[in-house]
Amino acid sequence: MADEALYPVPDSWTGQCLVDEARYDAEYAESIRDNTGYWAEQAKRIDWIKAPTQIKDVSFGPDDVHIRWYEDGQLNVCANCVDRHLADKADQTAIIWEGDSPDESKEITYRELHEQVSRLGNVLKAMGVGKGDVVTLYMPMIPEAAYAMLACARIGAVHSVVFAGFSPDALAGRIEDGRSRFVITADEGYRGGRTIALKTNVDAALERPGAQHVEQVLVVRRTGGDIQWNARDRWYHEAMEAASADCPPAVMNAEDPLFILYTSGSTGRPKGVLHTSGGYIVYASLTHQYVFDYHDGDRYWCAADVGWVTGHSYIVYGPLANGAITTMFEGVPTYPDAGRLWEVVDKHQLNIVYTAPTAIRALMREGDEPVKRSSRKSLRLLGSVGEPINPEAWEWYHRVVGEQRCPIVDTWWQTETGGILISPLPGARALKPGSATKPFFGIQPALVDEQGQIKEGATEGNLVILDSWPGQMRTVFGDHERFVQTYFSTYPGRYFTGDGARRDADGYYWITGRVDDVLNISGHRLGTAEIESALVAHEAVAEAAVVGYPHDVKGQGIYVYVTTAAGVNETDALAAELKQWVRKEIGPIATPDLLQWAPGLPKTRSGKIMRRILRKIAEDSYDNLGDTSTLADPEVVDQLIAGHEGIT
Ligand code: PRX
């Protein structure tokens, strides 16, 4: 579209930015021409115990899929994030922590971070945690969450962070899959003025059959609330007091696992995305520096949760590897009121803010006043992540929050990619609201048709990546075959992202959203299959199908079609109960927004549910249902359309 708004790089950025347009063009071309050479050079940003000589060993199949970077290198990721900054930044702030309550905040220096992480490393060792052991973290957004991640990395353990909003069942499933024998949690968390019963959830999870093998639970005292105490529990503060602050970082190989993070796919249970050490830290730190144009001393804030990959790469690992000042926020953007984020910006004089479109849309609804109460003079750059940002929200973020002086980096990436793959570099690119613009160095995106043919020029298609980058996931934990199937079988020899995208005549990418059965609710991934299996586990449900529909604030909402079991009455009370049921089974983010009773579901004669039709009905677009004559029971469609009318 020729008439799209174009926002050039502000004049104030000229000469100040790390990467301008000329440098981007030259460096990008070189990074593709000599990909191995490029990544060999970038590896030098990391302190290696033994520098790698084998840079890249990658095959995207079809016969064999393997991804290895810096294979013969040795390093410790924690030492890169902490120890190496002690020489010149020991007294500089590493973490700014802002509590849920506006009255609570603190700053932690690199020296303090080093001490806390070292003590905790020794605590973990004393608990029996060794190299390669999986430690599950189920924690609020408190500094101890970052300490725990780094302490695992320090001693060579593998962390598996489970978002504190997930249910005991979801937690148990992840503990079981990771065969994790250790859990770190808190008594309770604070969020938006309420408490979350974390320890109680852990206790419930550990009663589930698959999670009873957990040996020890380390508990941070956050609220002082009442909790049950079991023989396997230990207080964090007591253990820390007794521990030595001398904990030499373990020597790790570049391809040793760093963490597992579970994410939803289109089928089955969430899968454990495995990231390893060397490549991940090179990629997270490099992208953090360039995408956020990070200069030493900048005060940076990624307002995500460490339960998601954004928190891993851009609150903890990327910034700390760069010796940056990173912010952790325990609360929510609307507590105590809709001005909170900007109050925090003023309070800590933050220069960079990185958040999700869903938060921007929620705040936009509250009008400009809560923003304008703050000065925001410290702000230089804004970021967006997790879902497509609609141009209206982009414009508001730019005009009201950033007062037209701050570029916005709309960063496209995934849990699987470890770091940002497509994004503006703010000093290098004129922006178009809603476009993630162009690939990062070394990244080769392409658009393909259904047959996998690459489409050139201005076009639309499914987004694939043609070659590896160091931050790419290595496998699905414990199930390499699932890794190959999920990402490399649709288009053999290519990494399939699951997203659709458009590329315009200027070569800018516009991510259009998932093309599979993955939902994106408020920037969080959920599989339709997970919600469906939670629903059918309820005795009143015979069958269920879940689809997404456009939602003003959440981006997508959850729409469920339920066929009741024989003899069950379709009442409002049952609908409410089923929504609560899903909430309890998976977590609050999975709560269905809308529920429609379905006398039957549209299926092909072979029994496959035609989700395309269900999506169209949920979206109110009946005109274009496509061919329904192949359905086993075409009348179901009319019944569902009639039934949809009352659903709001
Ligand atoms: O559909 C894309 C969407 O979020 C998915 C990845 O979700 P997750 O692994 O949870 O990671 C979220 C944080 C990186 C992608 O497949 N997505 C993420 N960022 C964007 C986006 N869609 C459009 N624009 C983005 N900037």
Is the pLDDT at 490 greater than 80? The verdict is yes
Pairing state between β 271-276 and 299-302: unpaired
What's the pLDDT at 2? Answer: 47
What is the C-alpha separation between 117 and 84, in angstroms, rounded? 14
What's the pLDDT at 333? Answer: 97
Q: Work out the pLDDT band at 4, boundaries 50, 70, 90.
A: confident
Q: Is 43 left (phi over 0), alpha (psi -120 to 50) or beta?
A: alpha
**532 CA distance to ligand 1 middle (Å):** 22
Q: Could you read off the pLDDT of 23-58 as tens digits, one per residue?
A: 999 999 999 999 999 999 999 999 999 999 999 999
Q: Could you read off the pLDDT of 578-625 as tens digits, one per residue?
A: 999 999 999 999 999 999 999 999 998 888 898 999 999 999 988 778
Check: CB of residue 516 under 8 Å from CB of residue 498: yes
Q: Please work out whether the CB of residue 522 comes within 6 Å of at least one atom of ligand 1.
A: no
Is the pLDDT at 628 greater than 90? The verdict is no
What is the C-alpha separation between 279 and 80, in angstroms, rounded? 13
What is the C-alpha separation between 261 and 523, in angstroms, rounded? 16
Q: Please work out whether the CB of residue 410 comes within 6 Å of at least one atom of ligand 1.
A: yes
- Cα-Cα end-to-end distance for the chain: 34
Q: Give how far Cα 515 sits from Cα of 149, 356, 496, 510, 591, Å.
A: 33, 21, 11, 14, 22
What is the C-alpha separation between 391 and 397, in angstroms, rounded? 10
Tell me if 299 is assigned to a ligand binding site: no
**284 CA distance to ligand 1 middle (Å):** 16
Q: Which ligand 1 atom is nearest residue 511's CA?
A: 23
Which of the listed residues 438, 497, 520, 526 should we mutate to test ligand 1's pocket, taking the one with most ligand atoms within 8 A of CB?
A: 520
CA angle 46, 149, 465 (to 5 degrees): 60
Q: How many CA atoms, within 13 angstroms, populate the side-chain half-sphere of residue 316?
A: 30
State how far Cα 108 lies from the chain centre.
25
What's the pLDDT at 3? Answer: 55
CA-based torsion, 229, 230, 231, 235: positive or negative:
negative
Ligand 1, atom 15, lies closest to the CA of: 414
Q: List the structure tokens of 72.
A: 């013969």
Buried/exposed code over 383-396 (b: 16+ C-beta within 10 A; e: otherwise): bbbbbbbbeebbbb
ipTM of the predicted structure? 0.99
Amino acid at 48: W
Tell me if 222 is assigned to a ligand binding site: no
Is the pLDDT at 431 greater than 70? The verdict is yes
Q: Please work out whether the CB of residue 310 comes within 6 Å of at least one atom of ligand 1.
A: yes
**501 CA distance to ligand 1 middle (Å):** 12
Ligand 1, atom 5, lies closest to the CA of: 414
Which of the listed residues 385, 389, 530 should we mutate to test ligand 1's pocket, taking the one with most ligand atoms within 8 A of CB?
A: 385
What's the pLDDT at 315? Answer: 98
Check: CB of residue 264 under 8 Å from CB of residue 298: no
What is the C-alpha separation between 108 and 482, in angstroms, rounded? 41
Residues contacting residue 54 through CB under 8 Å, at least 6 positions apart:
68, 70, 71, 72
What is the C-alpha separation between 336 and 370, in angstroms, rounded? 11
Is the pLDDT at 180 greater than 50? The verdict is yes
Is the pLDDT at 267 greater than 90? The verdict is no
CA-based torsion, 286, 387, 201, 227: positive or negative:
positive
Tell me if 333 is assigned to a ligand binding site: no
- Span 126-133, average pLDDT: 98
**385 CA distance to ligand 1 middle (Å):** 7
What is the C-alpha separation between 148 and 160, in angstroms, rounded? 11
What is the C-alpha separation between 363 and 237, in angstroms, rounded? 37
What is the C-alpha separation between 326 and 316, in angstroms, rounded? 8
Q: In what order do the strands lie in the sheet with 105-109?
A: 105-109, 93-98, 325-329, 299-302, 352-355, 381-385, 408-411
Tell me if 193 is assigned to a ligand binding site: yes
Q: What is the dihedral of CA 516, 521, 527, 528, to 10 degrees?
A: -80
Q: Please state the pTM of the whole predicted model.
A: 0.97
Q: Give how far Cα 572 sits from Cα of 317, 400, 533, 576, 594, Å.
A: 47, 42, 21, 6, 12
Q: Could you read off the pLDDT of 369-416 as tens digits, one per residue?
A: 999 999 999 999 999 999 999 999 999 999 999 999 999 999 999 999
**497 CA distance to ligand 1 middle (Å):** 10
Task: Quickly tell me which residue has 């859990």 as its tokens.
Answer: 183
Q: Could you read off the pLDDT of 89-98 as tens digits, one per residue?
A: 999 999 999 9
Query: What rounded mean pLDDT belongs to the chain?
Result: 96
Q: Could you read off the pLDDT of 549-583 as tens digits, one per residue?
A: 999 999 999 999 999 999 999 999 999 999 999 99
What is the SS3 assignment for 595-634?
A: EEECCCCCEECCCCECHHHHHHHHCCCCCCCCCCCCECCC
Buried/exposed code over 544-583 (b: 16+ C-beta within 10 A; e: otherwise): bbbbbbebebbbbbbbbbbbbeeeeebeeebbeebbebbb
Tell me if 541 is assigned to a ligand binding site: yes
Q: What is the DSSP letter of 209?
A: G
Q: What SS3 state is found at 502?
A: strand
Check: CB of residue 444 under 8 Å from CB of residue 466: yes
Q: List the structure tokens of 598.
A: 């379905």
What is the C-alpha separation between 197 and 587, in angstroms, rounded? 13
- Span 408-437, average pLDDT: 98
Buried/exposed code over 144-166 (b: 16+ C-beta within 10 A; e: otherwise): bbbbbbbbbbbbbbbbbbbbbbb
